[in-house]
């Protein structure tokens, strides 16, 4: 009685620990993928901002040179 109970309990605890560990690993992997994705998004956003900045600098230079077309 006592032995079978303890073996079952140990097996259940081991399985539980294994499942928790697996779940933690899966979550870590998912978080890692999300982080990679966020970093890529940030890099893309940074590149976009740089391009936009260059574009606006270009527009400003044109406005300085030729004046603002919208103002009459």
In this predicted model, what pLDDT tens digit does every residue of 34-65 receive, in sequence order?
A: 999 999 999 999 898 888 888 888 888 888 88
pTM here is 0.48
Give the CA radius of gyration of the chain. 30
In whole angstroms, give the CA distance from residue 18 to residue 11.
10
In this predicted model, what pLDDT tens digit does every residue of 11-31 receive, in sequence order?
A: 899 999 999 999 998 898 999
The residue written with tokens 């009459």 in the block is 72
Domain chopping of the chain, boundaries: 1-67
């Amino acid at each position: 009685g006592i032995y079978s109970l303890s073996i079952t309990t140990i097996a259940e605890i081991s399985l539980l620990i294994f499942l928790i560990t697996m779940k933690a690993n899966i979550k870590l992997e998912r978080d890692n993928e999300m982080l990679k994705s966020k970093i890529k998004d940030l890099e893309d956003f940074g590149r976009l901002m740089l391009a936009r900045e260059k574009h606006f600098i270009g527009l400003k230079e044109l406005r300085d040179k030729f004046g603002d077309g919208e103002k009459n």
